[in-house]
Amino acid sequence: MKNQKIRFGVIGVGRIGKIHTENLVNRITETEVVAVSDVISTEVAKVAKQFSIPNTFSDYNQILQHPDIDAIAICSPTPTHYVIILKAAAAGKDIFCEKPIDLSIEKIIKINEAVEKHGIKMMVGFNRRFDPNFFKVYEMVKAGKVGQPHVLRITSRDPAPPPEEYIRASGGLFLDMTIHDFDMARYLMNSEVIEVYARANVLVDPVFEKAGDWDTAIVMLTFENGAMGAIDNSRQAVYGYDQRVEVFGSEGMVTVKNDTPDSHIFLDKKGTHSALPLNFFMQRYTESYLNEMQAFVESIKSDTPPPATGKDGLAAVMIGLAAMKSVKENRAVRVGDSGIG
Amino acid sequence: MKNQKIRFGVIGVGRIGKIHTENLVNRITETEVVAVSDVISTEVAKVAKQFSIPNTFSDYNQILQHPDIDAIAICSPTPTHYVIILKAAAAGKDIFCEKPIDLSIEKIIKINEAVEKHGIKMMVGFNRRFDPNFFKVYEMVKAGKVGQPHVLRITSRDPAPPPEEYIRASGGLFLDMTIHDFDMARYLMNSEVIEVYARANVLVDPVFEKAGDWDTAIVMLTFENGAMGAIDNSRQAVYGYDQRVEVFGSEGMVTVKNDTPDSHIFLDKKGTHSALPLNFFMQRYTESYLNEMQAFVESIKSDTPPPATGKDGLAAVMIGLAAMKSVKENRAVRVGDSGIG
Amino acid sequence: MKNQKIRFGVIGVGRIGKIHTENLVNRITETEVVAVSDVISTEVAKVAKQFSIPNTFSDYNQILQHPDIDAIAICSPTPTHYVIILKAAAAGKDIFCEKPIDLSIEKIIKINEAVEKHGIKMMVGFNRRFDPNFFKVYEMVKAGKVGQPHVLRITSRDPAPPPEEYIRASGGLFLDMTIHDFDMARYLMNSEVIEVYARANVLVDPVFEKAGDWDTAIVMLTFENGAMGAIDNSRQAVYGYDQRVEVFGSEGMVTVKNDTPDSHIFLDKKGTHSALPLNFFMQRYTESYLNEMQAFVESIKSDTPPPATGKDGLAAVMIGLAAMKSVKENRAVRVGDSGIG
Amino acid sequence: MKNQKIRFGVIGVGRIGKIHTENLVNRITETEVVAVSDVISTEVAKVAKQFSIPNTFSDYNQILQHPDIDAIAICSPTPTHYVIILKAAAAGKDIFCEKPIDLSIEKIIKINEAVEKHGIKMMVGFNRRFDPNFFKVYEMVKAGKVGQPHVLRITSRDPAPPPEEYIRASGGLFLDMTIHDFDMARYLMNSEVIEVYARANVLVDPVFEKAGDWDTAIVMLTFENGAMGAIDNSRQAVYGYDQRVEVFGSEGMVTVKNDTPDSHIFLDKKGTHSALPLNFFMQRYTESYLNEMQAFVESIKSDTPPPATGKDGLAAVMIGLAAMKSVKENRAVRVGDSGIG
């Protein structure tokens, strides 16, 4: 294994599938992409041509059965994850799966059991852990620079609402968008979230109300170690993609700024002006997508646990479900006490 | 009135009393200080000498009865406010009173009735409204720059815990410290806080537990207009006095940074280094104390309502009491539903 | 002397005279202003009334002869400095004199001799040395934080050109405006400027050409210790008063930013916006004017040399004259080789 | 040409040759690399293997004679450029050449004549033009945002001195390092440099003196349009690679900051700390190398002039030679008046 390339199959070549394919083909030297599959055959042909990939399938099963494929990247819609993972695990493929694994706690538990049983690796695509800014915060907290963490603040705002169709299939604000922040919370604080209180509202676009969803929220977190946190979300920051975290502790505080396309500062009669944050997750997290796939490849090559596991995928969904319940019942909800099964 | 100086008496010449005295004597041209009083006679003598003030009293009643005094500044401990204000209102003096007016909603209501009945002006010392940074945020929000406000974030952290004695008399974290943030929340969002959920803990110093208080907290606010907010507090930020606000809305976001003693940036082998925030409220809010007293003087001279009234003082205490109840009962509490009487 | 106030007379109550008067009266506790003089009697009356100053004169000689005056602040036009200083020194008054002392090297030398002969203190108003930002740079360089200084950069730009009348009497760009930067260069680098090369041009306003002056310049400095520096000046930065310095050395670099009225950051669809630099020297250097006068008072009380002496005043003028010669002859000019006498 | 890939040969696969090879192979979709050559055969084999390049040569002539190669990238040492370019032009290959083209004005003129005669495209590797920060400044100046440019400031400091061997072959500080800044000056100001005055010194390492070179310099520039500029260089900024520019004009000012690996801000008891600038040109200019090669490919595909031509390469060398003469004779030197032929 150490001396030959890891051979990937990519399932689903939409926006995120293309990113992973390009990284696996061009940026990561230890991998190659043997096959891509997608239900939209024109798309799969286009991607295969662009990246000189030898095999294209419309049915992902052909990837799972392909003997020359070592690992797969699942980039298809969330409802397909469950079956694909169970089959891939049985077929002995290592699995990279986009978040969320699934919206049901029961199914995620079954997935995690299957992964363990078949002894394969599964990594969940919590790409923000691999963003250079957030990773720096993680490292500093872990190195004890802020002492004992006391307070976590996360601001996470999208540049614009997704289409209505996407909203309806998304699982809702907390499972689609905040889920990244829930993972970040556990990751940065190195402590489990035990209780959640959340308020949410429709302030941006009535389409969210129609879809039974919200567009603006604040979630308060209580951690096992006594620390507290607050996450604020909006589906529309007109100034761009706003992604910041701050950890405050007994010995100091660490925070990060948004990334911008350049660092110019312009002064004229009217004021001091500079660039807006990068507007879209694909620009903001270009490097994090590369880094996370590199980390997955490392975990395969060194046979070590991947840095974001099925347990992490489960925990984030559990917090998300607790947050939904909290809003609906306007009360604090213990994580785990949110209606499994 | 317009052409002569407003004659002040200052009651209480501790830390904050000295600040107001100096501003009234040296910095505000339309005022003079005729008398100062304090139960500690050595202090009152010292202040009188430093600022060339003709009259010193150990009993504040002598200030209230002094015929040449137009207005008073109450800088004595909170428990004394109630009686002084009632007497001062009856004596027809305009009143500047440090926050909080009182810890009891009932008493504040009585105070406000007395102020109205006697037709005097009363301003509460919510000095942060007059800080240039926070005032800029207020102005921009009011001018519609951020559109409809959706999310408020306030970080408010003290550099170090106060002495135990102070803690015990303070009314607790929410009424002593967060009260400023509650006022700021109403001020910046221009909407009333209708519900509060708060979590608090003792993470900094066991002395807070001994005193039945907390040192770390997050408070989530729901506003009448549908917006939400989160305040985080700590009694100890080892890096200095951390005071930031951020208002996010439909058209943009405005935030402010901490003030520093200088703007130097130093780069060496180890990193990029710059100044810490100003360490103490007296340095951080030097200008705000001057501006607030100037505003009080303006309101007297122009016979207009002061920019922070007894109603504001009442509202902040009501939110604080709701936050206390929320922590104790671990549930969201409607403001006003917090045990008056 | 230690236990009584130092009694000042202020000569000239224009813009800068008023600043010093206010500081001496209200902000510095160890001083009082006994008399003010100005050729414009309405001005002197106004200032005396505002600050409750007992004596007003139209002739500065009355201040010099006043037996109750210990020290004077000379805020009258540059051409008057020479005679006033000589007389004041003879009268045994300590002297604070606005910059430049004079435009003639010969006269400054005579002034310095008189000051020495009469054993009085003379401080030159290089207020920028007392600006918290620049002072921090000075301190850090002096403490060896940047190691051996190699490169100095100064940017110094006015918000708008002065009136034509002022330009004609100013001594020209280098002696009126850059003189502060020449002083800052010697102060920050702790080394003498030995050679100058300067280029200047009229790019802002033809009025400068009419007056035989320039509005834009870059001056390159060679220091005795082998370091180099570059100063750039403009008479018109449309975005405000731009005042920055940077010292680069063997162990690091220290730089400062402009001061702004507040620290707000506003993001909307169009960009990230923040405050412009403070627009005028009186706002930018409020604190430096107070600090410098406080330092003068300290030097009198402790009988130590003032932190900006006649030697400093002379050096800055010598560099300025060398810069003028350099532009006119388009060659590097040794400082001192610029036409004394 | 439009529908097939442009076939490159890369001559020289040292540090910079590898960067261009990787970009041409993996990042630019319109190109492929057909062959690489280098005098060190182990290196050329390694690079060919890593990027799956079919042909490897030890003699660059084999690349020039290869019928399937459309364009070449010259990444070999400066002294080899002259002959390679003349031959490549004769062979009808489009040429990308690393800076400097050559150290002799005469030879560059001959090169430019050959390029014109053979009707091929030649682009010089002034990669900084394609850095997102500097390009933003360029765009804003060009769009008139700063009005008429008056003053240019460039700070350009290396993290550490190169090896002695490199220094001796480099052509000296001005032709090796400042040459980038000279190009940036012409590029940003959109005006020719007509006169130079430079001071240089050995402050960092005596090795520079041994090599007849300098390690620290300031260069003053006079532009044809009346504007002025100052460049400061050091071979050793202990805090990293310091690359900043600032353009000041009649309507405003634009400046850029250094790039850092992340945007974290950490506050502890000792101060506020953040990341150092990226330490090495290969990290700092990763994107600029990609962008410049993309621009070269665009100019071939669209048959338009490349954005950095032989004329630009000549101009930068002429300014560099003038700067050297200026230091040696301690006088201002007209560009062009620096000893051609």
CA dihedral angle for residue B157, residue B163, residue B166, residue B167, rounded to 10 degrees: 60
Closest CA to B89 of B75, B74, B99: B74
Q: Which of B218, B238, B242 has the most A C-beta neighbours within 10 Å, making it the best mutation to test the interface with A?
A: B218
- Structure confidence by residue, pLDDT tens digits, C95-118: 999 999 999 999 999 999 999 999
Q: Which of B244, B262, B264, B267 has the most D C-beta neighbours within 10 Å, making it the best mutation to test the interface with D?
A: B267
Please tell me which of the candidates D237, D267, D274 has its beta carbon nearest to residue B239.
Answer: D267
Contact D245, B236 (CB under 8 A): no
- Structure confidence by residue, pLDDT tens digits, C6-23: 999 999 999 999 999 999
Chain B CB contacts of A209 below 8 Å? none
Please tell me which of the candidates B237, B239, B268 has its beta carbon nearest to residue D239.
Answer: B268
Closest CA to B247 of C268, A173, A180, A174: C268
User: Which pLDDT score is estimated for A280?
Assistant: 80
User: Which pLDDT score is estimated for C1?
Assistant: 45
CB atoms A197 and B332 under 8 Å: yes
CB atoms A232 and B151 under 8 Å: yes
* Maximum distance among all Cα pairs of chain D, rounded to whole angstroms: 67
Mean pLDDT for B284-294 is 94
The CA–CA distances, whole Å, from C115 to A118, B312, C76, D101 equal 93, 60, 19, 62
A37 Cα to chain C: minimum distance (Å): 39
D142 Cα to chain A: minimum distance (Å): 14
User: Which pLDDT score is estimated for B338?
Assistant: 56
Is residue D341 predicted with pLDDT exceeding 50? no
DSSP state of D308: S
Chain B CB contacts of C26 below 8 Å? 26-27
Q: Which residue of C has its CA nearest to D246?
A: C155
Please tell me which of the candidates B151, B204, B242 has its beta carbon nearest to residue A218.
Answer: B151
- What is the value of pTM for the model shown? 0.95
C155 Cα to chain A: minimum distance (Å): 15
Q: Which of A151, A158, A242, A247 has the most B C-beta neighbours within 10 Å, making it the best mutation to test the interface with B?
A: A151
Residues 192-251 of chain C with CB under 8 A from chain A are 237-240
The CA–CA distances, whole Å, from B269 to B179, C146, D128, D236 equal 43, 10, 25, 11
β-strands B228-234, B216-223 pairing = antiparallel
pLDDT band at C284 (very low <50, low <70, confident <90, very high): confident
User: Which pLDDT score is estimated for D205?
Assistant: 97
Q: Which residue of B has its CA nearest to D274?
A: B272
CB atoms A50 and D27 under 8 Å: no
Is residue D62 predicted with pLDDT exceeding 90? yes
Q: Which of D27, D255, D263 has the most A C-beta neighbours within 10 Å, making it the best mutation to test the interface with A?
A: D263
Please tell me which of the candidates A271, A272, A276 has its beta carbon nearest to residue C267.
Answer: A276
Is residue B284 predicted with pLDDT exceeding 70? yes
User: Which pLDDT score is estimated for B1?
Assistant: 45
Residues 6+ apart with CB under 8 A from C91: C64, C65
Tokens of C39: 């050729």
Hey, is the C-beta of A263 within 8 angstroms of any chain B C-beta? no
Chain A CB contacts of B153 below 8 Å? 153, 155, 230, 232
Chains that touch D (3 or more CB pairs under 8 A): A, B, C
Mean pLDDT for D250-268 is 97
* 3-class SS of residue A9: strand
Please tell me which of the candidates D256, D263, D267 has its beta carbon nearest to residue A133.
Answer: D263
User: Which pLDDT score is estimated for A283?
Assistant: 84
A122 Cα to chain D: minimum distance (Å): 28
User: HSE of A280 in the Cβ direction (CA atoms, 13 Å)?
Assistant: 5
* Backbone phi, psi, residue B27, to 5°: -105, -25
Tokens of B49: 């000498």
β-strands A94-97, A122-124 pairing = parallel
Chains that touch B (3 or more CB pairs under 8 A): A, C, D
Type of residue found at B15: R
pLDDT band at A1 (very low <50, low <70, confident <90, very high): very low
Sign of the Cα torsion B20, B25, B29, B31 reads positive
CB atoms D268 and B240 under 8 Å: no
CB atoms C133 and B254 under 8 Å: no
Please tell me which of the candidates A203, A222, A331 has its beta carbon nearest to residue B199.
Answer: A222
Q: Over pLDDT 90: what percentage of chain C?
A: 94
Sign of the Cα torsion A189, A192, A198, A201 reads positive
User: Which pLDDT score is estimated for C280?
Assistant: 80
Chains that touch C (3 or more CB pairs under 8 A): A, B, D
Residues 6+ apart with CB under 8 A from D230: C153, C218, C220, C230, C232, D152, D153, D154, D218, D219, D220, D221
Is residue D2 predicted with pLDDT exceeding 90? no
Please tell me which of the candidates C29, C140, C263 has its beta carbon nearest to residue B266.
Answer: C140
Tokens of D260: 């850092």
User: Which pLDDT score is estimated for B3?
Assistant: 60
Mean pLDDT for D144-151 is 98
CB atoms B232 and A248 under 8 Å: yes
Please tell me which of the candidates C216, C252, C332 has its beta carbon nearest to residue D150.
Answer: C216
Chain D CB contacts of B273 below 8 Å? 271-273
Chains that touch A (3 or more CB pairs under 8 A): B, C, D
Cis omega (within 30 of 0) for bond into D306? no
Chain A CB contacts of B232 below 8 Å? 151, 153, 228, 230, 248
What residues pair up with B234 in beta bridges, in sequence order?
B157, B216
B166 Cα to chain A: minimum distance (Å): 22
Is residue A340 predicted with pLDDT exceeding 50? no
Tallying the residues shown for chain B, one arrives at: 341
Is residue D181 predicted with pLDDT exceeding 50? yes
Mean pLDDT for D283-305 is 95
Residues 6+ apart with CB under 8 A from C143: none
CB atoms D276 and B274 under 8 Å: no
- Structure confidence by residue, pLDDT tens digits, A174-210: 999 999 999 999 999 999 999 999 999 999 999 999 9
User: Which pLDDT score is estimated for C338?
Assistant: 56
CB atoms C267 and B257 under 8 Å: no
A305 Cα to chain D: minimum distance (Å): 26
Contact A265, A272 (CB under 8 A): yes
Mean pLDDT for D293-321 is 97
Chain C CB contacts of A239 below 8 Å? 267-269, 272
User: Which pLDDT score is estimated for B283?
Assistant: 84
Mean pLDDT for D28-48 is 96
ipTM field: 0.94
Chain B CB contacts of A253 below 8 Å? 237, 239, 242
Is residue A254 predicted with pLDDT exceeding 80? yes
Chain A CB contacts of C276 below 8 Å? 267, 271-272
Chain C CB contacts of B268 below 8 Å? 145-146, 251-252
